[in-house]
Amino acid sequence: MKLAFSTLGVPGLPVPDVVRLAAEHGYHGVELRAGHEEPVHSGLTERQRSDVAGEFRDSGVEVLAVASYVQVAAPGEDAPALRGLRDHVRLAADLGASYVRVFPGAGEDDGDAADTRAARRLAAVVPEAADAGVRILVETHDSHRTGADVARILGLVGHHHAGALWDVLHPWLGGEQPEHTYPVLAPYLGYVQVKDVSSAEDTTPLPLGHGALPLAGTVEVLSRAGWDGWLCWEYEKRWYPQVRALPELLSRGRSHLLRLLGESA
């Protein structure tokens, strides 16, 4: 498996520094958070996109994904979600990223209508994403926190370029264990976000291996199934400014993941 980290852990850090951190600490790729206040977002010019892509290409570090904040199941008109999807697919294609992350975001309107709404919006854009060589991944998150929840949406879409991002925290919070999450997401799985927290009541981020999340169980399930994709560490420093800085944790985090994978550092 390949290892990446999310820039959610280094908010606002310039792209050259992100690339340097990944290369120095042995990560194969980076998930770029595409918030409007971040160095990479959908408002970048063509020249700026080319410069970002060049930084990664020259270093040998991959842009794994563009992490957007599009909510595909959100109530309301389709137009804003469709515009956001298309904008981020274009950004991912320009940067050479394989994936665009989206959220469900149905809020309290999380029934069949939300599934249908999300599937309709994804189905409208995935042919364009396929042409661009990009997959749109719905994260296990908020209104659709379990693998079973996200699989309902993707089953309605029925297109390979609409897939799933397995964030290990949210299915666990929803009472779904890795051995149940993987089988339902396997036909759709793009990559896996790993993290650690102390408990379901306290989700303040911790260094990998220092908390309660079933990381070993997750890696075991993936390895047993022969899955050979990406593990991306999402350390939510952006939302928890009091926690330790990610750069000082990257080497130990990589070593912990390699131990789980049965590889040497």
Name the percent of the chain lying above pLDDT 70: 99
Contact 52, 95 (CB under 8 A): yes
Full-model pTM: 0.97
| pLDDT at res. 108 | 85
Q: Is the pLDDT assigned to residue 168 strictly greater than 70?
A: yes
Nearest to 182 by CA among 145, 220, 215, 222: 222
Q: Is the pLDDT assigned to residue 111 strictly greater than 90?
A: no
| pLDDT at res. 43 | 97
Measured at the CA of 80, the angle between CA 5 and CA 53, to 5 degrees, comes to 35
Mean pLDDT, the chain, as a whole number?
96
Tell me the per-residue pLDDT of 89-110, one tens digit each, with 9 for 90 and over.
999 999 999 999 999 999 987 6
Tell me the per-residue pLDDT of 203-237, one tens digit each, with 9 for 90 and over.
999 999 999 999 999 999 999 999 999 999 999 99
Q: How far apart are CA 79 and CA 229, in angstroms?
A: 33
Tell me the per-residue pLDDT of 179-212, one tens digit each, with 9 for 90 and over.
999 999 999 999 999 999 999 999 999 999 999 9
Range of the domain at 121: 2-261
Q: How far apart are CA 58 and CA 61, in angstroms?
A: 8
CB atoms within 10 A of CB 12: 11
Look up the CATH number of the domain holding residue 119.
3.20.20.150
What's the number of domains the chain is made of?
A: 1
CB atoms within 10 A of CB 52: 23
Residues in the chain: 265
Q: Is the pLDDT assigned to residue 142 strictly greater than 80?
A: yes
| pLDDT at res. 109 | 79
